[in-house]
């Protein structure tokens, strides 16, 4: 039998990490001790008090049945309470919060609610690869809005051509930013609200990293900007805050009509997150400060070790205020891909080439500090010995 792949998947480039994984396997088969600093997936386990809550939830037969589509009411209340405490943002748990099976799920499904074939979806580049893919899955045209070093990795929204703005239905933004580690201040978010209301473009802000920050820095929620709820939504996740990437629990909050749109899509695709996980999520959010400083401290220490290594290797970067990544410039004369290939083949270190996050990531590479401190120290030793 010879069936075809639909164009929507046939035309996709291989997933960012697939190519790197293949090369890594090849090296490991040759007996190389590969240090992989590629994927952003915390090595530190989920805090015990959250695991205990899951156990309790798992034993309750009430939780073994289909959950509600929008999430348990108690989970939505916990999200609203957390937004109030953490950001001083008011949310109505009944209309302005929806539970997600990880924020990736919500991001991937959102364009189905807002984009028709022929519409444009804007997204920050470099960025999380799911943004353009989800726009094109919905039949839309993804349009890359560059975020560049000369503008502190914030987009120049006024530079988006008029005809594109007219056709655009939404824009994906993300601060603290993966991969550039850039952060956004209130003034920028105010400009985003203005841009959205002038051009009638829904803001989809991905806030996955607001709790991973250093040196006393406290990242903002987009919803703290005046008028934000009129023009946008925010995706959030327990994955990064609580080292819960494997649990698949997140949420979207903000504009009522947009949240209802996502809810409507989800009603037709999934049946909600396992209630025992939502129950554990409630306990996590209600005690979000427990151990948070310690977790931040570990990532901060690793950041400092790696950045010192970059200094010694003569590579440029901005010291990250947030996220568990370091974004640095590759040596002059090499492309991102050439650099990461060379680093893997000569030193056995996996870094993600910047162009894997979009064309405007060219010239950079990203490392993740979600690997043991010992391995990061080893990687730095090898990096310093590599000649470019």
Residues that bind ligand PLP (CB under 6 A): 40, 102-104, 128, 174, 178, 206, 208, 237, 239-240, 245, 250
DSSP string for residues in 214-275? -TT--PPPGGGSTTHHHHEEEEEESTTTTT-TTT--EEEEE-HHHHHHHHHHHHTT-----H
Of the two residues 78 and 383, which places its CB atom closer to ligand PLP in the complex? 78
CB of 286 to ligand PLP, least distance (A): 19
Calculate the CA 96 to chain-centre distance. Answer: 21
CB of 127 to ligand PLP, least distance (A): 7
CB of 31 to ligand PLP, least distance (A): 32
Q: Are 44 and 241 contacting, i.e. CB atoms less than 8 angstroms apart?
A: no
DSSP 25: H
Of the two residues 104 and 266, which places its CB atom closer to ligand PLP in the complex? 104
**Count of CB atoms within 10 A of residue 106's CB?**
25
Q: Are 24 and 344 contacting, i.e. CB atoms less than 8 angstroms apart?
A: yes
For 312, the 3-state DSSP assignment is helix
CB of 277 to ligand PLP, least distance (A): 12
Of the two residues 96 and 234, which places its CB atom closer to ligand PLP in the complex? 234
Of the two residues 279 and 383, which places its CB atom closer to ligand PLP in the complex? 279
Between CA 117 and CA 300 the distance in angstroms is: 44
Of the two residues 239 and 336, which places its CB atom closer to ligand PLP in the complex? 239
Q: CB-hemisphere CA count at 13 Å for 161?
A: 6
Cα-Cα-Cα-Cα dihedral sign, residues 290, 295, 301, 304: negative
Of the two residues 165 and 251, which places its CB atom closer to ligand PLP in the complex? 251
- Measured at the alpha carbon of residue 33, what is the angle toward residues 30 and 34, in degrees to the nearest 5? 95
CB of 128 to ligand PLP, least distance (A): 4
CB of 115 to ligand PLP, least distance (A): 19
């Amino acid at each position: 039998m010879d069936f075809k792949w639909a164009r929507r998947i046939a035309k996709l480039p291989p997933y960012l990490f697939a190519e790197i994984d293949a090369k890594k396997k090849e090296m490991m088969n040759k007996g190389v001790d590969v240090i992989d600093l590629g994927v952003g997936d915390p090595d530190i386990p989920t805090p015990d008090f959250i695991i205990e809550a899951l156990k309790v939830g798992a034993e309750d037969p009430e939780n073994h049945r289909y959950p509600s589509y929008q999430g348990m009411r108690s989970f939505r209340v916990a999200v609203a309470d957390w937004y109030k405490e953490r950001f001083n943002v008011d949310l109505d748990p009944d209309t302005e919060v929806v539970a997600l099976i990880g924020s990736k799920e919500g991001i991937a499904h959102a364009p189905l609610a807002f984009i028709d074939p022929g519409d444009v979806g804007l997204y920050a580049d470099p960025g999380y690869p799911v943004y353009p893919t989800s726009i094109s899955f919905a039949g839309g045209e993804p349009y890359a809005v560059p975020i560049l070093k000369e503008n502190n990795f914030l987009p120049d929204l006024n530079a988006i051509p008029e005809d594109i703005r007219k056709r655009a239905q939404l824009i994906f933004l993300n601060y603290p930013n993966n991969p550039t580690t850039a952060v956004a201040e209130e003034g920028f978010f105010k400009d985003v609200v203005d841009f959205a209301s002038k051009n009638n473009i829904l803001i989809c802000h991905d806030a996955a990293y607001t709790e991973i920050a250093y040196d006393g820095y406290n990242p903002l929620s987009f919803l703290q900007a005046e008028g934000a709820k009129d023009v946008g939504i925010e995706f959030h996740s327990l994955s990064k805050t609580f080292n819960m990437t494997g649990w698949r629990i997140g949420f979207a909050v903000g504009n009522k009509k947009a949240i209802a749109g996502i809810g409507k899509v989800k009603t037709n695709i999934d049946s909600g997150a396992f209630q025992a996980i939502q129950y554990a999520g409630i306990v996590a959010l209600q005690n979000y400060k427990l151990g948070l400083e310690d977790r931040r401290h570990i990532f901060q220490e690793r950041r400092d070790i790696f950045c010192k290594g970059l200094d010694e290797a003569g590579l440029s970067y901005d010291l990250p205020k947030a996220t568990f990544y370091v974004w640095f410039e590759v040596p002059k004369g090499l492309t991102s891909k050439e650099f990461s290939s060379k680093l893997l083949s000569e030193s056995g270190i996996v870094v993600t080439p910047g162009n894997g996050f979009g064309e405007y990531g060219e010239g950079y590479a990203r490392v993740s500090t979600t690997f043991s401190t010992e391995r990061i120290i080893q990687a730095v030793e090898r990096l310093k010995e590599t000649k470019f």
